[in-house]
Amino acid sequence: QESDDEHDEL
Amino acid sequence: MNIFRLAGDMTHLASVLVLLLKIHTIKSCAGVSLKTQELYALVFACRYLDIFTNFVSLYNTVMKLIFLGSSFSIVWYMRYHKVVRRSYDKDQDTFRHYFLVLPCLVLALLINEKFTFKEVMWTFSLYLEAVAILPQLVLLQRTRNIDNLTGQYVFLLGAYRGLYILNWIYRYFTEPHFVHWITWISGLVQTLLYADFFYYYYQSWKNNQKLHLPA
């Protein structure tokens, strides 16, 4: 699960 | 990645390709708002500051490069290409950038998840993307005769937004702790801006007529 400050959407 | 997110990205990509196709092959940018295109270039430049530091996937990196490259090349074509720039409706495309950029910047400084440079820029890009279509919608409203490619471009952009909302709903129910209020609210605002256009696009499609916006 990515942490909140890493944005995985474009 | 879920099917809604992928479909959303693909319609977003298709919208950019339709616009590049129009500009590159027909050598015309009639009906396209340079203001909106410049705002999108700014949106991607601010959002993808992490392109070389935060690796998510090869897919993400390639898509980021495509959106950066295409948005800046569209702006270049419309400003500097000796044929294309002559078709630009400069007198109709009068929306002021700073009416949108300044409030978004202030809002990003006030409402963000974390007060760091990268995070504020990322938030700013979300707020700005939400309203960046406005100059384009105003231009369509003014010129009123909309060619097929320009209509398809705006339609695909709207579809991309709608699919992203489905993607968030899906992720909310399938991923624990997936809550992103800033992304959701600005995304919802952005999608609502297309509602009016979609209504007329649907009407013209249903009646098999040329798209025509009311004055």
Q: Is B200 exposed, middle or buried (0-12, 13-18, 19+ CB in 10 A)?
A: middle
List B residues 129-158 in contact with A (Cβ-Cβ < 8 A). none
Q: If we measure between CA atoms, which residue out of B169, B103, B106 comes closest to residue B134?
A: B103
Q: Give yes or no for residue A2 having a pLDDT over 80.
A: no
Q: Give yes or no for residue A4 having a pLDDT over 80.
A: no
Per-residue pLDDT of chain B (215 residues; tens, 9 = 90+): 999 999 999 999 999 999 999 999 999 999 999 999 999 999 999 999 999 998 999 999 999 999 999 999 999 999 999 999 999 999 999 999 999 999 999 999 999 999 999 999 999 999 999 999 999 999 998 987 788 899 999 999 999 999 999 999 999 999 998 999 999 999 999 999 999 899 988 888 888 888 888 87
Residue of B nearest to A5 (CA): B119
Please tell me if residue B160 touches chain A, with a CB cutoff of 8 Å.
no
Across the interface, whether the CB atoms of A7 and B122 are under 8 A apart is answered yes
Across the interface, whether the CB atoms of B164 and A9 are under 8 A apart is answered yes
State how far the Cα of B23 lies from the Cα of B57, in Å rounded to an integer. 31
State how far the Cα of B65 lies from the Cα of B55, in Å rounded to an integer. 13
**Are B156 and B14 in contact, with CB atoms under 8 Å apart?**
yes
Query: What single string gives the DSSP state of each residue in B125-171?
Result: HHHHHHHTTHHHHHHHHHH-B--HHHHHHHHHHHHHHHHHHHHHHHH
State how far the Cα of B184 lies from the Cα of B172, in Å rounded to an integer. 11
State how far the Cα of B37 lies from the Cα of A9, in Å rounded to an integer. 21
List A residues 1-10 in contact with B (Cβ-Cβ < 8 A). 1-2, 4-10
Across the interface, whether the CB atoms of A5 and B175 are under 8 A apart is answered no
What is the count of residue pairs from A and B with beta carbons less than 8 Å apart? 27
State how far the Cα of B93 lies from the Cα of B88, in Å rounded to an integer. 9
**Are B50 and B109 in contact, with CB atoms under 8 Å apart?**
no
Across the interface, whether the CB atoms of B119 and A8 are under 8 A apart is answered no
The pair of three-digit structure tokens given for residue B205, joined into one six-digit string: 């499609």
Give residue B146's pLDDT.
85
Give residue A5's pLDDT.
55
Give residue B214's pLDDT.
81
The shortest CB-CB distance from A6 to any of B9, B54, B63 is to B54
Q: Is the sign of the CA dihedral B49, B52, B55, B57 positive or negative?
A: positive
DSSP state of B111: S
Question: Which residues in chain A touch residue B50, judged by CB atoms under 8 angstroms apart?
Answer: 7
Residue of A nearest to B175 (CA): A1
Question: Which residues in chain B touch residue A7, judged by CB atoms under 8 angstroms apart?
Answer: 47, 50, 54, 122
**Are B153 and B22 in contact, with CB atoms under 8 Å apart?**
yes
Q: Hey, how many other C-beta atoms are within 10 angstroms of the C-beta on B206?
A: 8
